[in-house]
Amino acid sequence: MAELMPPDTRRCTYFFLYDGSKVRGEGDPTRQGICYFYPEETPLDKQELMCGQLAGVSRCVSELSSSPVHTLRLRRCKFAIHMMEDFFWALGCSTEVPTVSVCELLDHLINIFCFYNGPIRQSYQLNSKETLAAQWARYLSHVQSGPSEIYNIFRCLRTVDSTTVDPLLLLKAALILQACQRCPLVLTGCILFRGRVVSTQMSPQLTMKVMVQESETYTKSQRSNGASTSCSLGAPVSSTAVFLTTSELQYLQSTPVNKNVSPFSPPLLDAPPKKTRLSRTLSDTPSTESEPPRLQTPQKLSFSPHMSESDDSFSPAPSQSSADSPNTSPQPTRSPLPNGGHAVETEHKLSHHHGFKSNGGSSVFEENQCLNGDDVNGDAARRAVFDLQGDDSGNEQSRDAQMVVGDSGVCFRKAESKHPPPPFTCALDSLEESPLIPKMLYMHRVNGLVLALLVEHGFMSDAASMEEVYHSSLASLNGLEAHLRSIAAATPGTSGQYTFAHYDCIQSTLTTNVSGRSGGAPEHPFVRATSLLHSHFCDTETLQEAIIRNAGVAVYGTRSVAQVTYFQQHSGSLRNSGIPNQQDSAFSLPSKARHRLLKHGVNLL
């Protein structure tokens, strides 16, 4: 009766895609419908049994309930199911992983596939089953690459460690991205370093998808020393076709171009001083002015019409920006610091602090934003255009910084809260309803560092633009890479005193000292408790905090709209009778968590 389940570190035990349309006739063997099956070494008989039975029983249940099956559980395994037309996906995980996480993971996998291959049916018409099976295998191994069990619970964006990286480097990265965006064919971008995000302008969901390609080219470049050439610019640059959902595209269009959702992206308050500072810090600074200003407004307009069916506010941009321009006139007074050493430091700290605050603040807005979302869109779009103009004079950002940081939270949050089971769901819907929009993913690799840009198709054929983006960013990327490389990869080892996990739902980032080393055995109780609490938080909207305790372990969980934190204190004597007792150490967990986690940048106050 007492069945202690062994910790299964493998995230997924089964994953398969079955195409029912291939098995119509009586004589059709089930294997014809199996598009991909993981683990691949599973005997074909068993594959057929699983696919046939699960797909069959799910169809029966769907008909009974007039709704597709969402989850299916066996005694030893739980499956997230996705049914679309004749396609049937099943992702099976250990029963300890929260159901909500398994479902998210399956949606994520399907989304990745669609991002790189376009609509499912179409890609299976165009490509062989084997080619696409290799893709599924690749995506599956990518999503399972989390270093410890705790990554089975939270689908998160891994970022460079903010505590070890000089914030100026992050600023630098953000600036590189902005510089690239001067080319109007560039939609948005991110900078990644060895599988971690340095800076991104995209939503976490989109960034996660882009990172699949990054890790792919990284392993390739490791193998063949960077010979993945696909364009005139030579070795380190590659490109691949990708597909955005309409909602993703709308989001891109509605966002300020210098919007930055990276958790560490410094706000732009100190834009002017950065030049002097950066020129001292980094080996080479691209002059932002070096880009011809002629590109800005006209080109922005030139591409906006064809992607603005959904967002009319783009077209009247010139008039809007001129309407806005009076506001900009007082701005230069805000940024008079030419090259203040000390002043820069303080200013920077201030701004950083400010950024933190306003990020947190965005969560507070959340609900209001949903109410007048469209308005925000329009505003954001206007600001986008305005910013490009402002950039010319080089000193407008300061005014925008506050708004932008706030706004980015706003826009993003909107995307999340409008479609409750976050954007990927609408992405899946759009698979069925509206087509995916093809774009290109441009990647420029400098050793471990990658500049990834989502670009219009025209970009790849526009040699001038490409060269410009390439050359304008090359030196900065080199410099950034050199600095990031020199930072020792410090793993946040378990401090021994406590274990914690802090998940930022808006930025999809996880801060934790669960290392997963030595099999994760000592951390397993924490992960197990976290898994349960996570399910509970997901089920119960009103739940704010919880303490659960058994004979050996007490774990505290708390959440706000934007974040959720789990904490366990390791102490010798938890033993007691279990009768209510104020002296019980379990009840001091909230205050301990508040104190201990401050130094990890987690504020629970």
Partner 1 sequence: MKCLLIASESAEVLFHWTDLEYQRNIQEQYGASQEEGEELPAFEDILSTLFAPIIISYSTMEDSYTSFTTDNNHIYVLHQFDECLYIAVNGDGEEKEDDLRRKMYVMKKMIEVMFGMVTLSGTLLRKELRPQDTEQRIRLWKHLQNLIETYSHLRENDQSFLVEAVERLIHPMLCEQCIEFLERRLVQQLNSSVERAGEEVLHAFILVHTKLLAFYSSRNASILTTSDLLALIIMAQNMYPSNVDLDDQSPEVTKSFYTPEPSPSSRDSGSSGDLHALEISPPDPSTPRRVFLDISLKDGLYPMMPHSMYCLPLWPGITLVLLTKIPTSAVALSVYKYLEDFDKLEKRLREGQGSSAAARSPLNMQDVRCKLDKFVKALGPSELQSAQLQIVWTEFKNRAFAKNGPGFNKDLIPWCKKMKTQLCGIYRQCFLIDSTDFPQRLSPGLQEGAQAMMQEKLMDWKDFLLVKSKRNITMVSYPRNFPGLVHFICVDRSSGQMIAPSLSITERTTSELGKGPVARFIKSKVWGLVRTTRRYLQKGYSTVTLRDGDFYFCYFLWFENESGYKLDSVDIPVLPDDSPPIGTLACDYYKLLRYYSKNHKGETVKCYELLTVHLGVIPTEIILQHCRQLASKLWEPSRNPLL
Binding site for partner 1 (CB under 8 A): 1-5, 49, 53, 56-58, 60-77, 95, 528-529, 532, 536, 540, 542-552, 554, 575-582, 584, 586-587
Whose CA is closest to 239, among 479, 472, 450? 450
- Residue 385 beta carbon to partner 1: minimum distance, rounded to whole angstroms: 40
Cα 155 off chain centre by: 9
Of the two residues 107 and 468, which places its CB atom closer to partner 1 in the complex?
A: 107
591 burial (CB, 10 Å; 0-12 / 13-18 / 19+) is exposed
Whose CA is closest to 18, among 119, 69, 107, 88? 88
Of the two residues 4 and 490, which places its CB atom closer to partner 1 in the complex?
A: 4
**Helix 341-371 and helix 397-418: axis angle, to 10°?**
30
Of the two residues 21 and 550, which places its CB atom closer to partner 1 in the complex?
A: 550
Of the two residues 538 and 546, which places its CB atom closer to partner 1 in the complex?
A: 546
Cβ pair 45, 29 in contact under 8 A: no
Cβ pair 490, 256 in contact under 8 A: no
CA distance 503 to 159: 13
C-alpha distance from residue 350 to each of 171, 200, 274, 342 (Å): 14, 22, 14, 12
Of the two residues 372 and 550, which places its CB atom closer to partner 1 in the complex?
A: 550
- Residue 69 beta carbon to partner 1: minimum distance, rounded to whole angstroms: 5
- Residue 205 beta carbon to partner 1: minimum distance, rounded to whole angstroms: 20
Q: What is the DSSP letter of 162?
A: T
Of the two residues 71 and 478, which places its CB atom closer to partner 1 in the complex?
A: 71
Span between the terminal Cα atoms of the chain, in Å: 43
Q: Which residues contact 587 (CB under 8 A, 6 or more apart)?
A: 547
Residue 400: count of CB within 10 angstroms of its CB: 22
- Residue 577 beta carbon to partner 1: minimum distance, rounded to whole angstroms: 4
Q: Which two tokens stand for residue 165?
A: 């990286």
Of the two residues 24 and 46, which places its CB atom closer to partner 1 in the complex?
A: 46
Describe the strand order of the beta sheet including 14-19 as a list of residue ranges. 34-38, 14-19, 87-93, 78-84
- Residue 543 beta carbon to partner 1: minimum distance, rounded to whole angstroms: 5
- Residue 65 beta carbon to partner 1: minimum distance, rounded to whole angstroms: 4
Of the two residues 83 and 401, which places its CB atom closer to partner 1 in the complex?
A: 83
- Collapsed DSSP state (helix, strand, coil) of residue 523: coil
CA distance 252 to 250: 5
Of the two residues 475 and 574, which places its CB atom closer to partner 1 in the complex?
A: 574
- Residue 137 beta carbon to partner 1: minimum distance, rounded to whole angstroms: 24
- Residue 552 beta carbon to partner 1: minimum distance, rounded to whole angstroms: 7
Q: Which residues contact 231 (CB under 8 A, 6 or more apart)?
A: 237, 238, 239, 460, 466
Look up residue 162 and give its amino acid. Answer: S
Q: Which residues contact 299 (CB under 8 A, 6 or more apart)?
A: 183, 184, 185
- Residue 285 beta carbon to partner 1: minimum distance, rounded to whole angstroms: 50
Of the two residues 219 and 544, which places its CB atom closer to partner 1 in the complex?
A: 544
- Residue 5 beta carbon to partner 1: minimum distance, rounded to whole angstroms: 7
